[in-house]
Structure 1
Amino acid sequence: MTTDSLEFEEWLEEDFEEEISVSSINHALVQTHLIKALPDEQFTVATELSLDMSSSERQAILKKYHVQAERELKPEVCLYEADEIDYLDPDLEEDDVARMEKSPLLCIEIVSPSQTSAHILRQFWVYFAMGVKSCWYVDPNLKLIKVYSSPKHSKSFEEGEVVDNVLGIRLPLNKIFFKKSLREVSSL
């Protein structure tokens, strides 16, 4: 075996799992429903936006909470104040941004088959250390949302509304966890 193939195999064994996220149908649909339900007149809703983790300060935060990321973390959904980020117009010679330095107000992580709860919760510690105000842990299979106002304080929502008192957000859970066929029948 050559050195290159050994390095590739080591990368596959050690790093590849961290670099890919295996999604599922429930994960994808819940992410879509969240995006549609979040208040976009007050906030800018972004999906899979890379947060820049390359600074020495942010690398120290990653190390402290045992989260591996060389250059970026990518929450499934995040929110910024409406006027903080907007579509960049190439006609105005604005360059697109590959990784955001500014921390969002909210980071949402949706449990997927490739993630553990412990991994997501370690990421929440990192997000809060970066100045994020609120984090949501979403479990599509349990139809559960836990809203974290700090790494040690959360409230679980399984029916009615999910309420984020930090950001003043209220969303009916039936807009996030639903079967389309059942929703169409109930709206008749």
Structure 2
Amino acid sequence: METTVALSTELEDEKMSSYNHSVLQSRLAFLLLLAYRSQYSILTELDFEFASGKTRPDLSILPKRPTNWLNDEIVVQDVPLTTIEILSPSQPLDSLIERVYQKHFPAGVKTVWIVSPALQLVTIFLPNRQHINVTEGNVTDPVTGIQVSLAEIFEG
């Protein structure tokens, strides 16, 4: 019984991807790397193990650190400054927001972006339960100062 529950919980945490999800993840990684690769490490689908639990954000932004090609990390202990989650078609928004407040913020993540493809909306969540909805112009992270054009994110 416990094995079934654990497996079920792990599967619930796994996100189903889609074409639009993949396009947005690739585009955001490209735009962020293009503008900020000298300041930050921009990483996709990296597993983190925090005291608050394991998580795998679509993108993570960490302070710039060198890559050690001889010593890889399967699960990273460092805490990102920002994580970015892209809402998948079959993923309930409430469960994603719950994960953000139960795992990301307790670990010390400063901001979390949730990208809603169907609405062409980016919401920046802050640990104090405030959030910023961006529906036009630039997405500007209030902590890192990172800016990305919403039009470029959702370019046709």
> Is the TM value for this pair above 0.5?
yes
State the Cα deviation string for residues 134-163 of structure 1 (Å, max 9, x = none). Answer: 110100111000011225111100111111
Please name the residue that 2:49 is paired with: 52
Task: Give distance in 2, aligned partners of 1:146 and 1:23.
Answer: 20
Residues 12 and 134 (structure 1 numbering): CA distance in 2 closer, same or farther, change over 3 Å? Answer: closer
Secondary structure of the corresponding residue to residue 150 of structure 1: coil
Q: Report the number of matched residues.
A: 152
User: Which residue does the alignment assign to 1:114?
Assistant: 90
Letter in 2 for 1:148: F
1:123 aligns with 2:96: no
Contact 1:111 1:138 in 2 (8 A): yes
Residue 186 of structure 1 is matched in structure 2 by none
Q: Does 114-123 or 133-142 show the bigger shift?
A: 114-123
**Cross-structure match for 1:81:** 63
Structure 2 CA distance for aligned equivalents of residues 52 and 144 of structure 1: 28
Distance 2:82 2:46 in 1: 12
Partner of 1:184: none
- Percent of aligned positions that are identical: 28
- Counterpart selection for 2:11 from 9, 17, 23: 17
- The amino acid of 1:118's aligned partner reads D
**In structure 2, what is the equivalent of residue 40 of structure 1?**
37
Amino acid at match of 1:20: E
Letter in 2 for 1:163: T
TM-score by length of 2: 0.87
Distance in 2 between residues matched to 1:136 and 1:22, nearest whole Å: 18
Between the aligned partners of 2:55 and 2:61, the Cα distance in structure 1 is: 15
RMSD (Å), alpha carbons: 2.1
Equivalent in the alignment of 1:146: 123
Displacement of 1:11 after TM fit? Answer: 6.1
- 1:120–1:170 Cα change, 3 Å: same
Letter in structure 2 aligned against 1:132: V
Distance of 2:67 and 2:6 partners within structure 1: 36
Q: Which amino acid is the alignment partner of residue 81 of structure 1?
A: P
Structure 1 segments unaligned to the other structure (5+ residues): 1-5, 63-71, 180-188
The unaligned stretches of length 5 or more in structure 2 are none
Distance 1:148 1:171, change over 3 A: same
Distance apart, 1:113 and its partner CA: 2.2
**Shift in Å, 1:14:** 2.8
Distance 1:117 1:140 in 2: 12
